Amino acid sequence: MSLNFVWIPRLAWNCCKNDVACSGNPLRSTKSFSAMHRVGSASNGNNSTRPRKEKRLTYVLNDSDDIKHCAGINCLALLTSAASDGSDYLFTGSRDGRLKRWALGVDRATCLATFESHVDWVNDAVLVGDSTLVSCSSDTTLKTWNALSFGTCTRTLRQHSDYVTCLTAAEKNNNIVASGGLGGEVFIWDIEAALAPVSKCNDDTVDESSNGINGSGNLLPLTSLRTINSSDNMSMHTTQTQGYIPIAAKGHKDSVYALAMNESGTILVSGGTEKVVRVWDTRSGSKTLKLRGHTDNIRALLLDSSGRYCLSGSSDSMIRLWDIGQQRCVHSYAVHTDSVWALASTPAFSHVYSGGRDFSLYLTDLQTRESSLLCTGEHPILQLALHDDSIWVATTDSSVHRWPAEGCNPQKIFLRGNSFLAGNLSFSRARVSLEGSTPVPVYKEPTLTILGTPAIVQHEVLNNKRHVLTKDVSGSVKLWEITKGVVIEDYGKVSFEEKKEELFEMVSISAWFTVDTRLGSLSVHLDTPQCFSAEMYSADLNIVGKPEDDKVNLARETLKGLLAHWLRKRKQRMGSPAPANGELLSGKDISSRSSTHSRIEADGSSENDAMVYPPFEFSVTSPPSIITEGSHGGPWRKKITDLDGTKDEKDFPWWCLDCVLNNRLPPRENTKCSFYLQPCEGSSVQILTQGKLSAPRILRIHKVVNYVIEKMLLDKPLDSLSAEGSIAPGLTGSQSQHQAVGDGSFRSGFQPSQKLKPSIEILCNNQVLSPEMSLATVRAYIWKKSDDLVLNYRLVQGS
């Protein structure tokens, strides 16, 4: 392949205050994933003239031990043997965006399935009936799953406008589920009706799909909507008249963090940042009353089986017991020293287990007010699940612990001693803590731990733009190669900053991706056209069998590696070979979309084949997951090895398919570097360069050396060189202004692969440049100015 300097004439050249745990509020964090996909919506409904942002493709790197969660556990759900196939199962939902099903034994828990479709944190999950799992996420959706399957998502429910934070279900009414979120919305769902297959329509409120993507099968359309407004009246929205939509319980003016329902599903309570407990009648859809008393956000709620008594936990550190019939608080319990985030009660509603931001799990007798500290951990407690005489504890850590709880006879714990009487004012518990009389935990160690992988909390993209240095919560530092999705070096517990300095390279590659660790692992984001801005020579990537001067586009080859499995499956399904170079997709969407973007470039630097080069081969033992969005439906997530080829082109961003199938790249900026090439002051060597030169950013300085030498050989007769190698005076050579030369080749007979021992030095800012430096590196680290780069050349002394 030929790389040319282009001469350019000189005249042509002319930017919840109390609920912060660990790295931030457990619910209100940056909306990196949900916002990412909502920005690039498929249409512009408000007729705005703002340029439309293209869909993003993200891939999430998975640890080698993929059966474990790699971020905090937000929710727990238990399915006991009486309701399952004879085994007890624990379902865990994590900030890594996945749910898992664990078979519980006496002394071990085995991961049987991973449920992967959400594209952001899983915030809550409930079981409905014998085999339906319902989850909610910060991606604004609810999803239903076959709980006893190996991860089959049966439906995606889209109704919320913001993060969905909490769910509750009626234990004896297998159909009723309520959801609440940061948008102040509360919806009451009839799951049986929501899952019923009906005729397809154009609405995307409910998606029917095994993977969370709008499939080609039936979609559930909308129906009339009962809205419960703040004046307790019901109104009917009949803009859509077919299918199902949930009841919207309107009344909250701000975020909803907690929900609870009685056994029959007739009474619903909700709480959030308004500091009041709202009570709803789910049968009529009306708001019946408000319960006031908390002084901060309400974070946890429980209802007894009849719906008469309600327990609430708040960021004011208090637990309150409410009599809904009498519409008043009958008891308040000051046992915690910080926010209360999780509650679980005994079946008789006589005792409550509570946990929160103070890392502590307490048991309290609701009648006698006697309390006991069961255990203290190292992380804030997010949710509890009582299981016979044990209790499962989920925290902001990726591991889940089982502690003794004596759920069948909690009085046994008080007989051990070390109990105290719960106060009724929040400051009373805080004062006791300050006085140093904190109770001694009853239990020191959990009876069982389901280990997780430490979440990544710090990262640095290295200058070569292929390696990322990470540090996890345990202090372990690792080096990832993102074009392969694997850890290439585990340094152990060393200084992150020192290791970053040690790995520093003076090299400049265009930033072609962004990274975040919101899901506890590395999420690599590709946005067009920026992702196609980085190129390297094949020799620098050690690609065997490819000409060393061939340019390799890093994003293009990464996309080929990510979609290699899908491409093979697609080819098998279609029964035809992959498209030839430049051939358009059969679908009209991609070709028509491509034609609307001017200057779409065919990448002529490499063959359009399915070959994946070694630096871009992703692991099949711990494959990354793709998060993206096509032209219909919403964002989806799936492991690259689970892409079975059944998805059509509408499930991917058009620019991604145009790259891997049609070998076409969008217009790219900043792939060239302009510079002036001038002799050093006092040098007797002169070559003809009038004006500015332009070359690829990745061009090496030894190519510039070769260019200077070639100009000397072409513009001056060979016998005009003196013994010292200087050009004899009086010979002016050609005055041609066309200054172009093949990359590394010479018209005087040198072969492209030859490395000519330079007799010329190139300098910048009076510093001699290494022949292996690129123009981009010189500009970034030596020139350090916004002006056009100036290079100087001179003869090497003694050559």
Q: What percent of the chain stands above pLDDT 70? A: 74
552, containing H or E segment? strand 551-553
Q: How confident is the model at residue 777 (pLDDT cuts 50, 70, 90)?
A: very high
pLDDT at 671: 80
As a whole number, mean pLDDT of residues 146-155 equals: 91
pLDDT above 90 as % of the chain: 57
Least confident of 114-128, 587-601, 727-741: 727-741
Q: Could you give the CA distance from residue 375 to residue 401 in angstroms, rounded to a whole number? A: 11
Angle between helices 554-562 and 654-662 (to 10 degrees): 90
Identify the residue with better confidence: 512 or 714: 512
pLDDT, residue 85, reads 64
- Residues 713 and 745: their CA atoms lie apart, in Å, by 13
Tokens of 684: 């007797």
> Which stretch of DSSP H or E encloses residue 555?
helix 554-562
> Kind of pairing, strands 98-104 and 625-628?
unpaired
CA–CA distance, 622 with 365 (Å, rounded to integer): 47
Distance CA 449, CA 392 (A): 9
Q: What is the pLDDT of residue 52?
A: 57
Q: What is the pLDDT of residue 84?
A: 59
Residue 532 pLDDT > 90? yes
Residue 11's φ and ψ, nearest 5 degrees, are -75, -15
- CA pair distance 315, 319, nearest whole angstrom: 10
For CA atoms 770, 775, 780, 786, the dihedral sign is positive
Q: Comparing C-alpha atoms, which of 13, 1, 3 is closest to residue 676? A: 13
User: Is it the case that residue 513 has pLDDT exceeding 90?
Assistant: yes
- Greater confidence (607 vs 44) lies with 607
Least confident of 19-33, 71-85, 586-600: 19-33
Ordered DSSP codes for 382-422: EEEEEETTEEEEEESSS-EEEEE--TT-THHHHTTS--EE-
The C-alpha atoms of residue 409 and residue 386 are separated, in whole angstroms, by: 13
Nearest to residue 773, comparing CAs of 527, 543, 507? 507
Q: How far apart are CA 72 and CA 121, in angstroms?
A: 9
Give the model confidence (pLDDT) of 173-204 as tens digits: 778 999 999 989 999 999 988 888 754 444 44
Q: Which two tokens stand for residue 394?
A: 């989920």
Pairing of strands 692-696, 664-665: unpaired
Query: In this predicted structure, what is the pLDDT of residue 112?
Result: 95
| Dist. CA 11–CA 159, nearest whole Å | 58
C-alpha distances out from residue 417 to 362, 370, 440, 443, 713, Å: 14, 11, 10, 12, 96
Examine the pLDDT at 746 and tell me if it is beyond 60: no
Question: 228 pLDDT exceeds 50?
Answer: no
Question: Residue 378 pLDDT more than 90?
Answer: yes
DSSP characters over 78-115: EE-GGGTTSS-EEEEEETTSEEEEEEE-SS-EEEEEEE
**Is there a contact between 179 and 186 (Cβ–Cβ < 8 Å)?**
yes
| Residue 593: predicted pLDDT | 54
Question: What is the model's pLDDT at position 206?
Answer: 59
Q: For 192, how many CA atoms within 13 A lie in the half-sphere containing its CB?
A: 6
Q: Is the pLDDT of residue 736 over 90?
A: no
Higher pLDDT, 82 or 289: 289
Q: Residue 223's CB: how many other CB atoms inside 10 A?
A: 18
Mean pLDDT value across residues 668-697 = 83
Count Cα atoms within 13 angstroms, Cβ side, for 701: 26
**Residues forming a β-bridge with 373:** 362
Cβ atoms 615, 543 nearer than 8 A: yes
**Is the pLDDT reported for residue 467 higher than 90?**
yes
Spatial distance between the Cα atoms of 527 and 609, rounded to a whole number of angstroms: 23
Q: How far is CA 698 from its chain centroid?
A: 30
Task: Decide: 791 and 763 in contact? Cβ < 8 Å.
Answer: yes
Of 718, 695, 663, 723, nearest to 791 (Cα)? Answer: 695
Task: Give long-range contacts, CB 8 A cutoff, 24+ apart: 37-41.
Answer: 37/119, 37/139, 37/629, 37/634, 37/635, 38/140, 40/629
Which H/E stretch holds residue 36? helix 34-39
Note the pLDDT tens digit of each residue in 561-579: 999 999 988 888 887 554 4
- Per residue in 65-123, pLDDT (tens digit) is 789 999 999 999 999 876 556 789 999 999 999 999 999 988 999 999 999 999 999 99
Report residue 304: phi and psi, to 5°: -75, 170
Structure tokens at 232: 């307790």
Q: Which pLDDT belongs to residue 798?
A: 60
Q: What is the pLDDT of residue 216?
A: 30
Give the contacts of 236 (CB within 8 A, at least 6 positions apart): 224, 225, 226, 227
The pLDDT assigned to 77 comes to 97
- Lowest mean pLDDT across 314-318, 383-387, 542-546, 745-749: 745-749
C-alpha to C-alpha distances, 172 to 87, 124, 284, nearest whole angstrom: 21, 20, 19
Give the residue-averaged pLDDT of 482-488: 95
Q: Say if residues 280 and 249 touch (Cβ distance below 8 Å).
A: yes
Per-residue pLDDT tens digits for 411-463: 999 988 888 999 887 666 655 655 556 789 999 999 999 999 999 999 999 99
| Confidence grade of residue 604 (pLDDT, cut at 50, 70, 90) | very low
pLDDT value of position 229: 35
Mean pLDDT computed over 269-294: 89
pLDDT in tens, 320-364: 999 999 999 999 999 999 999 999 999 999 999 999 999 999 999
Confidence of residue 602 (pLDDT cuts 50, 70, 90): low
* Band (157; pLDDT cuts 50, 70, 90): very high
pLDDT, the chain, mean: 80
pLDDT at 726 over 60: no
Provide the residue type at 669 as one letter. Answer: E
Question: Looking at residue 238, what is its pLDDT?
Answer: 29
As a whole number of Å, the CA-based R_g of the chain is 32
Q: Is residue 408 predicted with pLDDT exceeding 90?
A: no
Q: How confident is the model at residue 580 (pLDDT cuts 50, 70, 90)?
A: very low
pLDDT at position 791:
94
Range ranked top by mean pLDDT from 17-21, 26-30, 164-168: 164-168
DSSP β-bridge partners for residue 143: 135, 156
